[in-house]
Structure 1
Amino acid sequence: MAIEVQRSALAIGEITARAAEYHRLGIAVLWIGIPNGDLGLSRYSLAAWERWCHAAYFGRVYYWAGGQTLRPIHFAPLSIRVEESTWRKHGHVHSAGGYDKRSRRWRKPQPGEPVLVSNGFRRTCRPAWAGTSVRIPECTLFIDAQAKWWE
């Protein structure tokens, strides 16, 4: 088992290469973050490595909470309100806005139950997967046994 604690930004290419190499060597890895902001807020902007972990761990990122305790967080999409505005131009009334749109930058943190490193995880082989901006190689990860807590 390998435990990687991310104190600084890690390039996506590096984390992908490390995950693939650990898997090749038969080592399961647990990526743990130290949050770069307050996860209790209503919105949070993820770093690239956090986005990678969120995809690799099926919708959760683990953050160190002290001792052996980790805090799993799911980052849900966040809607931003585009306020309606009206104006006159060349004698005509125009309007725009008045709708919600999904934020590209912000996510809503949704914490799961705290979990202990020593007994709260299971070894899982993660098949390769690619999204629009993230590529996960086949890798072996330690994932907590908690059921999905978000909708």
Structure 2
Amino acid sequence: MLVALTSVNERKVSFETSKNEGPFFCPCCKKEVGLRKGYKKVHHFYHISDNPDCPIPKESEIHLRIKKEMYEHFNKLRNCRKCELERNLGDVRPDISLYIDDTPVAIEIQKSDISCDLIRQRMQRYSHLGIYVLWVLPELLIHEKANSWGEIKKYHNLKDWEKFLHVMYNERLYYWNGGTNVDAVHFEPARLFHDGDEYGDSYWYHAKKRMVPDYLEKQLCVEDNFTYSQCRAGSVKVSTGYEKIPQCRIFIDTTPEWWLDDNDA
């Protein structure tokens, strides 16, 4: 948590505040929170006594760092204004909210597992508020596996909520790469080479969970390479069946589908 309230209900940002400005209180549960200011980790507020009823979850160091860096970078840009951390919008509380070229944008940073239902609820709420949403993931975990010819194939196991976002953003996910930069990645089902005799001495098959990443070669800036758009209602197949994707407002990059070759485009 990077934002807390004072006893007079004034918002304070952890890395812009000193401890002697306290006491501080959680914006949601109103319980007292402390301020941690170390040399290595991002300065942040924490609940002095655990409160399981508080809707604000504990956040990882990488989550806090991304939030801080993006916030500081947005505040330096001329086409960005009204940038706020952890703004309370009732049912939703985006990591960062701002206007980019007069477009209201909410940025959700997601590292831990989340249900597709919760993503759907948040997107519907943001759409009701007229806000366009960008979900940013901290890191892409890549695995490697050798096929029968000894070739190393890279893949990623997409979780259900990642599949949901992948379809919602026209088959791409966004991974943070410093400041307000992100890497756009498209995923295709892995095709691993194994011994067999159907086509001579080998055959291809689709792995159910393994997805091969296809990176966009250039890095994207959120403030320059994205625009507002509407996601059409649809569905995505996940481990438990199908999840409905609502019609909603998304903030998406303007790059054409780079993973298609000339014959597919």
Counterpart Cα distance in 1 of 2:256 and 2:115: 30
C-alpha distance in 1, partners of 2:184/2:165?
11
Which residue of 2 is the match for residue 134 of structure 1?
A: 243
Aligned mates of 2:243, 2:166 — CA distance in 1:
10
Alignment of 1:21-36 (within 5 A): 21-36=125-140
Q: Percent identity?
A: 29
Cα RMSD over matched residues?
Answer: 2.1
Aligned partners of 1:74 and 1:111 also within 8 Å:
yes
TM-score norm. by structure 1 comes to 0.84
Q: Separation in 2 of the partners of 1:116 and 1:77?
A: 27
Q: Partners in 2 of 1:47 and 1:131 — Cα distance?
A: 12
- Give deviations 1:59-90, integer Å, cap 9, x for gaps: 100010111100000001211234339xxxxx
The letter for the 1-side match of 2:243 is V
Q: Is the 8 A contact 2:187 2:214 kept in 1?
A: yes
* Aligned-residue offset at 1:149: 0.4
Runs of at least 5 residues in structure 2 that lack an aligned partner in the other structure: 1-104, 145-152, 261-265
1:23 counterpart letter in structure 2? S
**Alignment: residue pair count:** 140
What secondary structure, in the 3-state scheme, does the structure 1 residue paired with 2:122 have? Answer: helix
Q: 2:224 aligns with which of 119, 136, 139?
A: 119
Tell me, in whole angstroms, the C-alpha distance in 1 between the residues paired with 2:139 and 2:119: 17
Describe the superposition over 1:88-147 as per-residue Cα deviations: whole angstroms up to 9, x where unpaired: xxxxxxxxx953111111011011121111111100011211244332101000000111
Give the letter for the 2:231 counterpart. Answer: R
Distance in structure 1 (CA, Å) of the matches to 2:190 and 2:133: 29
Structure 1: any 5+ residue segments left out of the alignment?
86-96
Query: Who wins on radius of gyration, i.e. which is larger?
Result: 2
**Of 100, 106, 110, which aligns to 2:210?**
106
Partner of 1:84: 196
Higher RCO by CA contacts (8 Å cutoff, separation 6 or greater): 1
Question: Structure 1: how far apart are the matches of 2:256 and 2:140?
Answer: 26
Distance 1:56 1:36 in 2: 18
Matches of 1:134 and 1:148, distance apart in 2: 24
Asked if the contact 2:142–2:154 (Cα under 8 Å) also holds between the matched residues in 1, the reply is no
Evaluate the alpha carbon distance shift between residue 39 and residue 75 of structure 1 in structure 2; reply closer, same or farther with a 3 A threshold. farther
Match of 2:161 in 1: 49
Contact 1:121-1:145 at 8 Å conserved across structures: yes
